[in-house]
Structure 1
Amino acid sequence: MLAEQVEDSRDNELLKGYGIEDIDLDSFNAYRRLYMNLNLDHPWNQIEPIPFLKNIGAWRINRETGAGALTRAGLLMFGALPSIQEVFPNYMLDYQERPEAKIEARWIDRLTLDGSWSGNLFDFYRKVIKKLTEDLKVPFKLEKDLRQENTLVHQALREALVNCIVHADYTDRASVLIVKRPDLFGFRNPGLMRVPKEIAIQGGESDCRNRLLHKMFRYIGLGEQAGSGIPKIYQGWDSQHWRSPVLYEKEVPFDQTLLELRMLDLLPDQIVDELRRTIGDQFDRLPELERLILASAATEQTISHRRMTEISTEHAHDLTLAFQRLMKAKLLESHGHGRGMVYHLPGQRLPSAEQAFSQSSVISLADSDPSDISLGHNGIRLGHNERHNLGWLSVEGLVKPLIDDLNLVSDEIEKSLMEQAEKARNQKRLNKKEMIQIILTLCSEYYLTQQVLAQLLNRKPLALRKNTLKPLLDQGKLALAFPQTPTHSKQAYTSVNRI
């Protein structure tokens, strides 16, 4: 915090002793070619490398000694990896392409600092933007009979990547992480936002952490004017009627800013057709906001006031009135109360604790009647629920496995959960932030029941629910497995907003 107060920009410091020999020349020459192609007649094209570096902010002269050296921005943008890591010991860049819409970090393509490439920010951008856009399924447009590949979505992804790079705090411990999944693009940079999220989304104000880096990208046509980058990302996603981007911050275990761009239609054709079949012509006569609420409830099974504030730009009061009208028209039903209230379509079958934990769903192979059970690849199935051979439950309507008994899961899963919770289990008085981060990590891949969490954390179940789990639910950091019975003794919890 003190560094942020003292330094207007984090990347303009002159690095004494770091010179042209610390630069990756292939990266620098590629940058100059791009600059020249965009500025064919510019006088900078004719000058020597060091004057060029000085003009773009990558090189500075010490006024007292007359000696020149790279700036932090110059080293980050064009440097060789060993030199960068001498100045920035926590420097880490990571791109992962994951094959499924799951939180687990299994990847099919990865780019990280493995020594096979320069490791600087300019090359990271060049390599990653190709991977992000190479199979982008966005309809092209024709302009003067020519196919235009530069859609608003392409522009949004370029802006998101540049934004992630230039706003990162490279002295912090979190890595720059870019994730590509079939359902989303995720961007994470170390450091919290320097302007409030609401102002960043609205646009017009900017406080870039690394202004020289931002300027260098703008010299080659990348990165928007100050304060217009985030609105351009939202505009690109809105052009496809996709779910509104989610921008948020985390302070544990390290300060970080995250942006999720989900490729999910606000009004998917299949969902709209189904709503028309069940509701009839009334659906098309509803205001757009109410149609959006119903489509979201059909897509996500349950919808809440909090979730709609992420999807829609409507005022919170207007959302409240829209929910009330849909309830009065009997087009929505509700469960819970206060901040924990969720809504769903009438007659929609929601996952229930009774179904999930019925005797049939936890039947053992030795005690079962073969005529009642169908065996698949993963374990025992009866009805809509399944006990996986690794010990967790697969419950219809839940997108993640549910763990209700540590004695039933595999040794590997139990060991992993125990290791994640070790610090909390061994310390009765644990820092609140640390406890929250442990819980969110434990619940990132599974729904965990209150009893399982209490066992892992060595805490009393009721006190854990009252003092920690309920506040996390109210803040939208945890979600319930069975929202229609929030106080059920076997309620289970999972983390939300994880890339």
Structure 2
Amino acid sequence: MLHIPNLDTLPLLRESVSIECKLAIGRDGKGALPDDFWPTYSAMANTDGGLVFLGMRERQGRFEPVGIENVAKVRTELFNNLNNRQKVSINLIGNANVQEWDVAGKTLLIIEIPRATRRQRPVHLTQNPLNNNTYRRQNEGDFPLPDEEVRRMIAERVEDSRDSRILDKFGLRDLDQETLRGYRQVYRILNPDHPWANLDDQTFLQMIGGWREDRQQGEQGLTVAGLLMFGTMPSIQEALPYYMLDYQEQPESTDALRWSDRLTLDGAWSGNLYDFFRKVYLKLTADLKVPFRLENGIRQNETPVHTAMREALLNTLVHADYTDRASVKIVKRPGTFRFRNPGTMRIPVEAAIQGGEADCRNRTLHKMFRLVGLGEQAGTGIPKIFQGWQSQHWKPPTLFDSYTPFNQTVLELGMLDLFPQDVMEALHVMFGDELEQLGHDERLALALAAAENTISHARLTTVSSAHPVELTRMLQRLTQAGMLQATGSGRGTIYCLPGHGLPTVDAVFGASGSSDSKQRRLLPPNNLVSNEPLILSEQHAPNQRPSKPSKVRDQHGRLCTDQLPLPVIDDLAALSPLMRQHLESLCQQPRQKQRLTRPAMKDVLLSVCAHHYVTLGALSSLVNRKPDFLRDSYLSPLVKERLLKLAFPTTPTHDRQAYSTVAVTKAMTTDPC
């Protein structure tokens, strides 16, 4: 049933990206369902659902109740149109999803729009899903989907498994025989007495789903799963032109190449999924520093972390949409791992984390891996990943969908302590016994604010499984209790610990050459395992007066300031020749080409912004693009995707704003200032 907010919640509703407000007063001022409700209905249903407040005005980032005089008329109009297939493709809303809310003597109508299931999508206007009639929610806007993406939604709705299709004129000659031989050898070891073990290759493939006969159509042949699992790279890319696998190990040195090790489709190996899995799993786990465990007195070499890593890699491969434009990309950095697959999740993130609800995009592939002891096909993969990380008390994994530039699912694993001892000791100094009275998520919010300088509603949703509305109320309670300070308004509200103000442009660069400040950070942001001493503000540690922030340059010519956890590249002329040459080599493509694909430009920007902040002006010069174009087209979207972070979050459009890649920790920087 729809949960009705209370009046105290109203000021914080602005923080949820799944909320939309509309006036709904009509021409006569008595109430009418607005025409722009329907794109929002389609967009929220095709994304993650949301709430629509009718009779509400949004002004300067805050909600203001206006009310609806004739609520019954609006409700009737809503349901009449929901059940009209000329208006919308499906009705997802029942009486329990529509409630009245009385606020200060004014009546509002709250409509809860559920997330549509895979078999209900696309939710579209009129009877034609194409031609800009299908929408998706991005931030607080509703955007029509291109026809290519709508057709992909339709295929997802129709095909429970995307990998069982028979490929015309593909056969055994398209397979890598060494891969198939290796797979069958493992199968025989695990199942020595199984009748399939001694079948010929084609019959064996038919048993496991790699070869299929369609009796109705009178055809048989290699399936998509068979080709992906055992095929050669040229044959796979002939059938699936967007097929791309990429594994990268990125080093900790800022002056090193973009990767120290890479496995991709270069023709040096088969290029199929089974070989990719075997090679990459060994690389991922080669240097895991996780203590072994004992089971019945016997040492177990595979720990829950190894299991989590295996499940993360397996889920990436079997849930990928190999018809989509994004690549399978896995990046290993010191202390962090990032898994990306093309295609968004078929079930909500919350359901995947909870487990038990299996809806694999490539079920035959999943079956093939299971037959050699990899995976269970029971909807337990994601829970095992979270359990493995929880066993080490690390920060929970982050799992999310992204729609720009292409549909993709991203899983981020960081080996950072959730509640490091030094962070908690500093918080005890600030708040005393009050800290022990807080719940888990409240302490998590404070710990993140201490470690990262700031916390936002969006950031908190990536590490907590609590409902967004509950997180909103929690932030309100902490603010009212004086344990957090809020800065900004609207969806951009940012919180920090009391007395630990956010870095500003003037404090770092100086309004008149000065960078005086009366407060410093509690901990270096993004460094939950630092050995550096804690620095408390004057407000909470009166006997420790912070020193005047230094403003010097490191050996590379980057600006160092105690206001920020990383050095800043603000002046290319001040850089050392080696550093400037390194950055310009990273930007070689955009410097030479006026037209560059979005993925290519995105990769360049993320590489340039790793291990330091780079100002808008410096980035503009490096990639040879105008500042406004660069910010609007690339930098701001990357910030929204949580791939870049702002040095000065309270002034996101400042001309001297600086950007850094997210998830760069001290363990990844070898030359801190």
Q: Under TM normalisation by the shorter chain, which class is it? A: 0.7 to 0.9
CA distance in 1, matches of 2:204, 2:287: 36
Matched, 1:189 2:357: no
For residues 418 and 284 of structure 1, do their structure 2 counterparts lie closer, same or farther at Cα, with a shift above 3 Å needed? Answer: same
Q: Is the 8 A contact 1:400 1:445 kept in 2?
A: no
Q: Which residue of 2 aligns with 1:49?
A: 201
The yes-or-no answer on 1:323 pairing with 2:475 is yes
Calculate the TM-score normalised by the size of structure 1.
0.80
The 5 A counterparts of 1:19-418 are 19-61=171-213, 63=215, 68-100=220-252, 106-348=258-500, 350-358=502-510, 384-387=550-553, 392-398=558-564, 402-404=568-570, 410=580, 413=583
Alpha-carbon separation, structure 1, partners of 2:447 and 2:496? 10
Q: Deviations over 1:198-228 (max 9, x none)?
A: 4333434343222211111111221232433
Deviations 1:396-430 (A, max 9, x none): 4545554445666647746865954998x889xxx
One-letter amino acid of the counterpart of residue 458, structure 1: K
Change (3 A) 1:61 1:399: farther
In the aligned structure 2, how far is the partner of 1:174 from the partner of 1:19?
A: 27
Give the alignment of 1:456-467 within 5 angstroms: 457-458=625-626
Q: CA deviation at 1:267?
A: 0.4
Cα deviation for residue 310 of structure 1 reads 1.2
| CA distance in 1: counterparts of 2:164 and 2:664, whole angstroms | 33
Question: CA offset at residue 58 of structure 1?
Answer: 0.7
- Runs of 5+ consecutive residues of structure 1 not aligned to the other structure: 363-381, 428-433
Pair 1:491 & 2:650 matched: no
Alignment check: 8 A CA contact 2:486 2:494 kept:
yes
Question: Does structure 1 residue 479 correspond to structure 2 residue 628?
Answer: no
In 2, Cα distance between the equivalents of 1:51 and 1:341?
61
Task: Please give the secondary structure, in 1, of the residue aligned with 2:462.
Answer: helix
Report the alpha carbon displacement of residue 171 of structure 1 after superposing the two structures with TM: 3.2
Bigger mean CA offset, 407-416 vs 11-20: 407-416
Does the 8 Å contact 1:140/1:147 carry over to 2?
A: yes
Task: Please report how far the alpha carbon of residue 79 of structure 1 lies from its aligned counterpart in structure 2 after TM superposition.
Answer: 1.7
Q: Which amino acid aligns with 1:5?
A: I
CA distance in 2, matches of 1:68, 1:147: 48
Q: Secondary structure at the match of 1:311?
A: coil
Query: For residues 76 and 175 of structure 1, do their structure 2 counterparts lie closer, same or farther at Cα, with a shift above 3 Å needed?
Result: same
SS at match of 1:31: helix
Matched letter for residue 222 of structure 1:
L
Amino acid of the structure 2 residue aligned with 1:108: S
Say if 1:272 and 1:169 are closer, same or farther in 2 by CA, change over 3 A: same
Q: Which moved more, 1:202-211 or 1:262-271?
A: 202-211
Structure 2 unaligned blocks of 5 or more: 1-148, 516-547, 666-673
Instruction: Pick closer, same or farther for the CA change 1:117–1:274 going to 2, 3 Å.
Output: same
CA 232–338 in structure 1, closer or farther in 2 if over 3 Å, else same: same
SS in 2 for 1:115: coil
Greater fraction helix: 1
User: Which digits, 9 at most, give the CA deviation of each residue in 1:201-257, with x for residues without a partner?
Assistant: 343434322221111111122123243322332222223222222222333333322
Whole-angstrom distance in 1 between the partners of 2:658 and 2:370: 48
Of residues 392-401 and 164-173 in structure 1, the stretch that sits farther from structure 2 once superposed is: 392-401
Tell me, yes or no, if the aligned pair for 1:156 and 1:233 is still in contact at 8 Å: yes
Residue 283 of structure 1 and its aligned partner are, at CA, apart by: 3.0
Distance 1:171 1:327, change over 3 A: closer
- How many Å separate the matches in 1 of 2:603 and 2:235? 36
Identify if the C-alpha distance between structure 1 residues 469 and 176 changes in structure 2 by more than 3 Å, giving closer, same or farther. closer
Give the CA deviation at 1:195. Answer: 3.1
Q: Deviation at 1:162?
A: 0.9
Q: Specify whether residues 191 and 458 from structure 1 end up closer, same or farther in structure 2 by C-alpha distance, changes over 3 A only.
A: same
Is the contact made by 2:549 and 2:561 (CA closer than 8 Å) also made in structure 1? no
TM-score normalised by structure 2 residue count:
0.61
1:74 shift after superposition: 1.0
Q: Secondary structure at the match of 2:449?
A: helix
